[in-house]
Amino acid sequence: MANSVASGRGRNGPWLQNQWLRIETRQDDASIAPVALAGDFRPTERAMMSAQPADAPPIVAERAEYDVQPYADELGEGKRLTLIARVARRGVTLRREVVLYDAYPFAVTRVGLKNESAAPLPLDGLYVFTTGEGRGRLRLSSKPDDWRIYRHGWQSWSPTMSLGGGEVDVRSRPPVLSPEEPPDKPGQFASDDVGALYDPASGRSLLAGAVTAREALTQVYVDAPSRALDVRCLFDGATVLPQQTVWSERVAIDLVGRPNDQLARYAEALGLLMGARVPATTPAGWCSWYYFYQDVTEDDVMRNLRFIEQHRRELPIDTVQIDDGYQADIGDWLIVNEKFPRGMDWLASEIKRAGYTPGIWLAPFLIAESSRAFAEHPEFVVRDEHGEPALATENWQRRNYGIDGSLPEARAWLRDLFRSVCDGWGYDYVKIDFLFAAALRGGRHDADATRVRAYREALAAVREGTGDGRFILGCGSLMAPSVGFFDGNRVGLDVGPWWRYLTTAERAGPKPRFRKPDDQLSAETAIRNSLNRTWMHGRLWANDPDCLLVRTDRTKLTIDETQTLASVIGLSAGMMLSSDDLDKLPPERLDLISMLLPVLPHAARALDLIERDMPERYEAVFERDFDHARINGVFNFGDDAQDLRLDLPDGRWHAFELWGERYLGIAEGSVEFLLVPPHGCRVVALRPAGDQPQLIATTGHIGMGVLDITGQAWDEEGRRLVLDIAPVGRRSRVVYVSGGGLAVLSAMLDGAPIRFEPRPDHVRIEAAIDAAARLVVTFG
């Protein structure tokens, strides 16, 4: 077959090749060299493998035998090349597998260690792709300071962004935001699960990412000054018994295309190999947390439920989720505090009766020192090296420990807890939070359980308790290791009703210089991760970009910042959770929520994700037979007003800006926005300009016609443009139509004349819609 993988043997060792990639190997040192065929991109001559025992020097592969076999898995067919290096001196055999697929441009590789000795071998890590040494050093066109590194955080809240090769990695301290102490020298980065290295001079990119995550934490280390990249799978000292083989995770190495393409492919592969659950429809709902926080009461929830019921047209949501604040203590989930006098089962049935899915928050892997759960089951928690409970987080002014997922009794407790919450109380949606706590480094019942295995065992117990049909939203969760358990997952740190968090000292003193937020709860921080992790949405789970806050009380967000938050959430096509006290919202703020409902069918892409830490260009393309639309978010993330330019694809485009409600005419090349306020944005609909009358945009929904216009036809004979409008988005909308040079004679909505405003070259029509309607615009 023309597209199948070829294999052969060169001067130094065997090779594999498909239409995109060639993997060369050397038998003398068991190294591999991937080469992208287009443009002959060969970033390293030798990527090595090695093993790091817990208490001995690294074991480096030596001379290797090899083997080539046909191969097939969830990614389809291909060939597998195995290098087998016996390191007799150290009593182990190292194996490297490399798979090339018929249908994917990346290679997938893993490293295995077989203990051939009679003694158990405690293993810290398997190093899968190490390019640092001698001839292995990365050869890119740019100097290391100019490299761009996409660094990915290990859990929901961990900073994810691109940085320059001369910068210092973000502070993301363990145990909450990072699994290990991050490097602090300029140019050194530790990226979890996946990382990408971009060479601006050549436009080439190298992505390395774990496409399985069942046993080991995978970290991609980049040391720009040393021109080194190194993929490490951490085994936490787990024992390899005599004659046992332990395999690293499978790691994709992708040299083709730009980081955005590579991340999309990476997510597809990870999703397929880990059995991702992607919901058919992305949930939308209301969440109690960001207005009421821990003070939430039964009455707060009921008032908002009544409001939602009474505003079904404006708020077509499906889920009402109670957050933190109902429980007696962290760990004592089934003991409800006095703020919920009628109990959580009563509240669930009220929510159901109103026609919504009841949702509830738990931090099931945390057990507070003060809790009854801890008093009854002190053996449930992970221990530090002194045998003391390991601290997961000091939130809620108390010490909280992490659950030991390797302990069968703890798993049974988790399973029963979720049966009580779901089958007992009646919740069909659970937000499970602070999940990293099950992946703390430390001592466990099963001394050989890695952090990732124990974490996944705990998650499996939760899923067993909820049952297959219920919605699990992860939060504070490991990313790749959670794929297959969650329906939705939080992709950033908490939003807040302020743009950037300032400490008391910073607030008192002079305005601080812009600094990269890392572990600060804020709208800016939430937005940054949402943009930088959009590629996960629909491939690993439904992304949760965190809640939309549109209130006018208890907020420091300006209207520009609020629109930016709405634009990012809307264009991300992720879950849309509102978290305000709804009956306090002025109508135009309620409109902002309506404009994001229902969510768009697919996500935008952060076009400049590798160039900037905060991407400023966000684009989603929607193609239907009767409508081609490109919806663009253009952001000013700077602290001063500035001009923004949106570059257009070739051709002539009707350009329309949503927040300013402005038709920009037929544009070519680019459109410019002058003095966009700090933290503000412009959201632009582009539609190819034809010769006939056509839709320019509507203002009812962030998609500007993508969802609310369900049909468009130009009747040449009758000179009528017919638009079918669905009752989507806010009730009142403006429809902009281009006349294509013709003068407008009339506009009729379902047969009745409605007001229209002819303008040079276009018509502005105001239409309030509560049911599907037909708009007919007649031209002379």
494/560 with CB nearer ligand 9PG: 494
53/285 with CB nearer ligand 9PG: 285
Does 494 qualify as catalytic in the annotation? yes
Closest CA to 598 of 686, 706, 676: 706
Residue 309: how many CB atoms within 10 A of its CB? 15
Cα-based distances in Å from 702 to 186, 596, 659, 733 = 40, 6, 9, 11
Q: What is the C-alpha separation between 137 and 226, in angstroms, rounded?
A: 7
At 304, phi and psi to the nearest 5? -70, -35
Asked if residue 485 binds ligand 9PG (CB under 6 A), the reply is no
Tell me how many degrees the CA angle 695-700-702 measures, rounded to the nearest 5: 90
Q: How far is the CB of 253 from ligand 9PG (least distance, A)?
A: 33
437/655 with CB nearer ligand 9PG: 437
Closest CA to 676 of 646, 648, 647, 635: 635
Active-site entry in 230, 433, 580, 613: 433
231/459 with CB nearer ligand 9PG: 459
435/686 with CB nearer ligand 9PG: 435
Q: How far is the CB of 324 from ligand 9PG (least distance, A)?
A: 4
Q: What is the C-alpha separation between 735 and 709, in angstroms, rounded?
A: 10
Pairing of strands 327-329, 332-336: antiparallel
Place of tokens 């006098």: 341
DSSP letters spanning 327-375: EEETTEEEEE-TT-TTHHHHHHHHHHHTT-EEEEEE-TTEEETTSHHHH
Would you call 502 exposed, middle or buried from its count of C-beta atoms within 10 A (0-12, 13-18, 19+)? middle
- Report whether the peptide linkage leading into residue 598 is cis, meaning its omega lies within 30 degrees of zero: yes
Active-site entry in 193, 236, 487, 494: 494
Q: How far is the CB of 398 from ligand 9PG (least distance, A)?
A: 13
Helical H runs in 677-752? none
Q: How far is the CB of 290 from ligand 9PG (least distance, A)?
A: 8
436/618 with CB nearer ligand 9PG: 436
Residue type, 314: E
- The number of angstroms, rounded, from the C-alpha of 750 to the middle of its chain's C-alpha atoms is 42
Binding mask 437-466 for ligand 9PG (x = CB under 6 A): ------------------------------
544/657 with CB nearer ligand 9PG: 544
Binding test (CB under 6 A) with ligand 9PG, winner from 19, 226, 395, 692 = 395
Q: How far is the CB of 734 from ligand 9PG (least distance, A)?
A: 35
CA torsion angle 438 444 448 453 (round to 10): -20
Asked if residue 433 binds ligand 9PG (CB under 6 A), the reply is yes
Cα-based distances in Å from 209 to 150, 220, 759 = 11, 8, 53
Q: What is the C-alpha separation between 106 and 303, in angstroms, rounded?
A: 53
Does 433 qualify as catalytic in the annotation? yes
Asked if residue 575 binds ligand 9PG (CB under 6 A), the reply is no
Task: Supply 194's token pair.
Answer: 């996946």
Tell me how many degrees the CA angle 458-318-684 measures, rounded to the nearest 5: 105
* Cβ density class 688-727: b for 16+ within 10 Å, e for less: ebeeebbbbbbbbbbbbbbbbbeebebeeeebbbebebbe
The SS3 assignment for 155 reads strand
Asked if residue 154 binds ligand 9PG (CB under 6 A), the reply is no
Task: Supply 462's token pair.
Answer: 């939760």
Q: How far is the CB of 446 from ligand 9PG (least distance, A)?
A: 28
Residue 460: how many CB atoms within 10 A of its CB? 16
Q: How far is the CB of 289 from ligand 9PG (least distance, A)?
A: 5
Q: How far is the CB of 327 from ligand 9PG (least distance, A)?
A: 10
At 745, phi and psi to the nearest 5? -105, -40
Asked if residue 231 binds ligand 9PG (CB under 6 A), the reply is no
Rg for the chain, CA atoms, rounded: 28
Asked if residue 176 binds ligand 9PG (CB under 6 A), the reply is yes
Asked if residue 361 binds ligand 9PG (CB under 6 A), the reply is yes
Residues 314-333 within binding reach of ligand 9PG (CB under 6 A): 323-324
Residue nearest to ligand 9PG (CB): 324
Binding test (CB under 6 A) with ligand 9PG, winner from 223, 350, 494, 619 = 494
140/430 with CB nearer ligand 9PG: 430
Q: How far is the CB of 339 from ligand 9PG (least distance, A)?
A: 15
Q: What is the C-alpha separation between 331 and 437, in angstroms, rounded?
A: 12
176/449 with CB nearer ligand 9PG: 176
Helical H runs in 420-522? 451-466, 504-508
286/779 with CB nearer ligand 9PG: 286
Number of residues that bind ligand 9PG (CB under 6 A): 12
The SS3 assignment for 44 reads coil
- Identify the DSSP state of 41: B
Closest CA to 168 of 149, 148, 197, 189: 189
Binding test (CB under 6 A) with ligand 9PG, winner from 157, 292, 485, 736 = 157
Asked if residue 366 binds ligand 9PG (CB under 6 A), the reply is no
Q: How far is the CB of 544 from ligand 9PG (least distance, A)?
A: 9
434/779 with CB nearer ligand 9PG: 434
8 Å CB contact between 564 and 291: no
Q: How far is the CB of 702 from ligand 9PG (least distance, A)?
A: 23
Q: What is the C-alpha separation between 465 and 454, in angstroms, rounded?
A: 17
Q: How far is the CB of 683 from ligand 9PG (least distance, A)?
A: 26
Asked if residue 475 binds ligand 9PG (CB under 6 A), the reply is yes
440/767 with CB nearer ligand 9PG: 440
Residues 585-604 within binding reach of ligand 9PG (CB under 6 A): none
Q: How far is the CB of 178 from ligand 9PG (least distance, A)?
A: 12
Would you call 394 exposed, middle or buried from its count of C-beta atoms within 10 A (0-12, 13-18, 19+)? exposed
Residues 249-308 within binding reach of ligand 9PG (CB under 6 A): 289
107/368 with CB nearer ligand 9PG: 368
Residues that bind ligand 9PG (CB under 6 A): 157, 176, 289, 323-324, 361, 393, 395, 433, 475-476, 494
* Residues that are catalytic: 433, 494
